[in-house]
Amino acid sequence: MISNKIIRNTFLALFLMTFSMYSQNKEENKVVEDIIKEANENSQLESLAHHLLDVIGPRLVGTPQMKQANDWVVDTYDDWGISAENEQWGEWKAWERGITHVDMVSPRVQSLEGMQLAWSPSTPQEGITAEVIAIPRIKDSLDFVKWLPNVKGKFVLTSMKQITGRPDENWEEFATETSYERMKQQRDSLTKEWLQNIARTGYGRRGIIKAFEDAGAAGILSSYWSKGFGVNRIFSSRTENIPTLDIEMEDYTMLYRLAESGNAPTLKVVAQSKDLGVVPTFNTIGKIEGKELPNEYVILSAHLDSWDGATGATDNGTGTILMMEVMRILKKVYPNPKRTILVGHWGSEEQGLNGSRAFVEDHPEIVEHVQAVFNQDNGTGRVIEISGAGYLNAYDYISRWMYPVPREIKDQIKTDFPGSPSSGGSDNASFVAAGVPAFYLSALDWSYRKYTWHTNRDTYDKIVFDDVRSNVILTAIMAYMASEDPNLASREKIVLPIDPRTGEQKIWPEQRSPKRRGGLDD
C-alpha cells in the first residue's frame, strides 16, 4: 500500500514540474511577443538601408566603401550595446570607382548609358576618343591574325548583338505565336554563330580580350544583358592597361548596328578610377554572449560585400539589414541568451565565399560547437522555403524552432526535410562543408534573377520592407528558440543518393580554403 507521504511527495513533484513548464512557456511567449512587437512598431530597417545603400553605396571587396561599411556596422552595433569587431582574413587588390561618361560623337551626338567594370584601368584624365569596331566573320585563326591589327586605337565590341531588347514574357504577352517562335529561332541561330565565330579565332571569350589589348585596342566594350528592360549585369574587367566598359543593351546594339552598316561610330569615353594598391579585407563579427552555454553558438549570416553596378540592395543589402535588425531586437528583448549569438557579415562572398570560408577555417573552436547557422542572401522577398540541408534530424529541431513563429509567416514557408547539402551559392555552404547545421532562408523571387541580381538596377527602391520585416520576425524567433533549446542540434547526415550522371554515390561537400590574396596572385 502506498503511503500518504509518498502520494504527497509525488503530487508536489508533479506540481513543481507543471509550474516550471508553465513559467518557461510564459517566458517563451513573452520573448516571442516582444520580438514581434519590436519588429513591427520600432523597425529600423529603412534607416539602416538608407545609410548602407544611399550613403555608403556599393561594397566591392577592396574598395574604400567596403571598409566604410565594415566600420559603420561595428559603430552601429556599438550604439546598440552589442560587441563587434572587424576581423582581418586576407588582403585584396584595392580600387576605387570614379566617374564614367560615354558619349557618341559621330555619326551624331548622344550620351550613352554605361560604366567601367570593376577593377578596370582608368582612361587618361581627358578621356579617350576612338572609333568603334565589331568583330567580322572569321574563317579561321590565321584569318583572325590577319584582321587583328585593325583593332589598334579602337574600341572593340566583344559581346554579341541582341536582336530584341524585350523580355521573353513581353513577347509571350503581345506577339503572335509565329512571331515569337521566329524571334527565338533567329536569336538561337545568331547566338550559335557568335560562339562559333569566337571559337574560329583560336581564342576563348576571355583570352580574346588579352589579344585585343596586346594588339593596341583603345578599350573593350561589352554588354551583359540580363534579359530584362534596361538591365545589365556588371562584373569585373580582365584588362591590365586599357578600360573595359559595359554599355547598356539598347545603346550597345545601336553601336553594333552602326559599326556593321559602315557608319562607324566614334566615342569619347572618360572612365576615372584609382588603383590603390593592396588593402586588408575583413569580416565584421557581432556578438551577444551566452550566459549558460557561452561556448555554444547560434550564428546569423549575411555577406556585406556586393558587386558595384548599383548599390547592392537585394544582394545583399537586405540580408545585411535583416541580420542587423535581428541582433538589435534580440539585444533589447533577449539580452541574456542561453547560447552565444554571433552575427557574421562576410567579405568577398561574391568572389567565392571567401570571408565565410576564412571564418570556418580560422575558428574550429567555434565551428565545433555551433547549434545552427541561419543565412539569407537572395533578395528582398519574404522567406518561402527552408531545407534541412542534408541533416537527418533537421525536421525535429527546425520544427521546434519554427513552432512559435506567427502562422501568417509560417504558413507561407515550404520545408524540405532532410533536404540536401549546399555545395556553393552562398555562405551557408561554407559551414555545411564543415558539418555544421547551416540553413538557407530562401526568399520569394520578386524578379531577383532578372532585375536585381548583380545588375545596374539593384537599388534601395527595389526593397519590399514588409517582406524584410517578416523575415526579421522569423529569424529572430528561430535564433531565440535555437539558443534556448535544451539540446545541441544533431549533426547526423543523410546517406547521399547515387549521382545519375556518374553512377557514383554523391559525397558531402568538402571544406575549401578561401582566396586570401584577391586580384594579386591571379
Q: Give the DSSP H or E segment for 270.
A: strand 266-288
CA distances in angstroms from 197 to 140, 143, 190, 309, listed in the order given = 9, 11, 10, 29
The pLDDT assigned to 134 comes to 98
For residues 222 and 160, the answer to whether their CB atoms sit within 8 Å is no
**What mean pLDDT value characterizes the chain?**
95
Beta bridge partners of 126: none
* Strand locations in 339-413 (E): 339-346, 370-375, 383-387
Q: Is residue 322 over pLDDT 80?
A: yes
Q: Is residue 9 over pLDDT 70?
A: no
CA distances in angstroms from 517 to 265, 358, 510, listed in the order given = 40, 12, 21
What's this model's pTM, rounded to 2 decimal places?
0.94
The pLDDT assigned to 28 comes to 83
Mean pLDDT over 341-347 rounds to 99
What CA dihedral angle connects 29, 31, 34 and 36, to 10 degrees? -70
For residues 334 and 318, the answer to whether their CB atoms sit within 8 Å is no
CA distance 372 to 217: 52
The pLDDT assigned to 4 comes to 61
The pLDDT assigned to 429 comes to 98
Question: Regarding predicted confidence, which is higher, 500 or 372?
Answer: 372
Residue reference for cell 504527497: 8
Give the model's confidence band at 215: pLDDT under 50 very low, under 70 low, under 90 confident, else very high.
very high
For residues 109 and 260, the answer to whether their CB atoms sit within 8 Å is no
End-to-end Cα separation, the chain, in angstroms: 84
Give the model's confidence band at 22: pLDDT under 50 very low, under 70 low, under 90 confident, else very high.
very low
Q: Is residue 194 over pLDDT 90?
A: yes
Q: Treating both helix axes as pointing N-terminal to C-terminal, what angle do 4-41 and 465-484 enclose, rounded to 10 degrees?
A: 150
Q: How many CA atoms lie within 13 A of 210 on its CB side?
A: 6
Q: What are phi and psi of 289, to 5 degrees?
A: -75, 135
Phi-psi region of 227 (alpha: psi -120 to 50; beta: other; left: phi over 0): left
